[in-house]
Amino acid sequence: MDKNSKWKKKERLENFLYTLPAVILVAVMMYIPFVMSGYYSLTQWNGIAKEPVFIGAGNFAAIFTGKSNFLNSLWFTVRYTIGFVIFSNILALALAVCLTRKFRLANVYRGMFFIPYIMSMTIVGFIWKFIFTQGFAKLFEATGWESLNLSWLGDPGLAFYSVVAVGVWQGLGFYIVLYIAGLQAIPGDVLEAAVVDGATGPQRFFKVVLPLLGPSMTTCIFMSLTNGLKVFDIILALTKGGPGTATYSTTMQIYQEAFTNNNYGLGSAQAIIYFVVVLVITQLVLKAMSRREVDL
């Protein structure tokens, strides 16, 4: 065997040994639990009994026949995600455009908008719960504004908007940073050419800037989509899914079914269905957004 063959064999062995710990870790933390969830979704198991009872597609039948709250929680999650994606991206883009202008306190405002993002979502939830229950009550006493006297967390309709507003407020800084990076990456000569051609401010934004922000928009929309679909912490801290089950997200429903009701079979079935739903939605959104991207 020549030296070249020995060196290639040694390199392959080293590559295998270096990647083996990562492969084992990913398999233990992700792939094996996923396969086990697939098996448990076909069983009735409380997490304590030694052997799960195989019931076939019984858990899936219970989900789609409305015997669990899964479909209602899925509908809430879809509505929350749509609101979260729309308002997060519109506000973040508008603020990013403002913060890319040269003025004295631009960097200070960027830091202020980013602070909520680095805070724990649970802490953010508790802060806003205090604001909705105690802060608004004090402001109502001082101002008399009826909008401050509403039951923002106790009314099912208002609770939905409250949860969306807090979620948008918490994550807004992250998307602002991404949009600022995209705006600063646009070549100045392209904008100058648009000015020379007589394009107005709105025309430059919608016809030049917005198409060139395609990669940034794809990233922001995808990130906000995934963050909306996995919402859990803020709802747990703000409403705990209430009033009733009005703000029950799918992740909270799965958690409740598996770890509170000790129904691991039904909880696993819900998790499998939700995995498929999220996979389909994210792939469709990515494909739709990638088609609209414009290369610089």
Helix (H) or strand (E) holding 52: none
Examine the domain organization and report whether 12 and 125 are in the same domain. Answer: no
In a domain, 215, yes or no: yes
The tokens of 152 are what? 């923002």
The tokens of 60 are what? 């899936």
Residue 168 pLDDT: 95
Expressed as residue numbers, the domain containing 216 is 68-249+271-290
In a domain, 264, yes or no: no
37: CB partners within 8 A, 6+ apart: 268, 271, 272
Radius of gyration of the chain (CA): 25
- Please give the angle made by the CA atoms of 290, 294 and 296, to the nearest 5 degrees: 135
Residue 171 pLDDT: 92
Residue 211 pLDDT: 86
Examine the domain organization and report whether 219 and 180 are in the same domain. Answer: yes
Per residue of the chain (296 residues), give pLDDT as tens. 566 777 778 888 888 888 889 989 988 888 898 899 899 999 998 888 888 889 988 899 988 887 778 889 999 999 999 999 999 999 999 999 988 887 788 888 888 888 999 888 888 888 999 999 888 888 888 888 888 888 888 888 899 999 999 999 999 999 999 999 999 888 888 888 888 888 888 888 888 888 888 888 989 999 999 999 999 988 988 888 888 888 999 999 999 998 888 899 999 999 999 999 999 998 898 888 877 665 54
In a domain, 230, yes or no: yes
- Which residue type does 37 have? S
The tokens of 109 are what? 């405002």
Examine the domain organization and report whether 197 and 281 are in the same domain. Answer: yes
Q: For the domain that residue 158 is a member of, what is the CATH number?
A: 1.10.3720.10
Examine the domain organization and report whether 177 and 82 are in the same domain. Answer: yes
Q: Can you give the pTM of this predicted structure?
A: 0.88
Residue 84 pLDDT: 96
Residue 191 pLDDT: 80
Distance between CA atoms of residues 254 and 273, nearest Å: 11
Examine the domain organization and report whether 35 and 94 are in the same domain. Answer: no
Residue 163 pLDDT: 93
For 241: left if phi > 0, alpha if psi spans -120 to 50, otherwise beta; the answer is left
Examine the domain organization and report whether 74 and 186 are in the same domain. Answer: yes
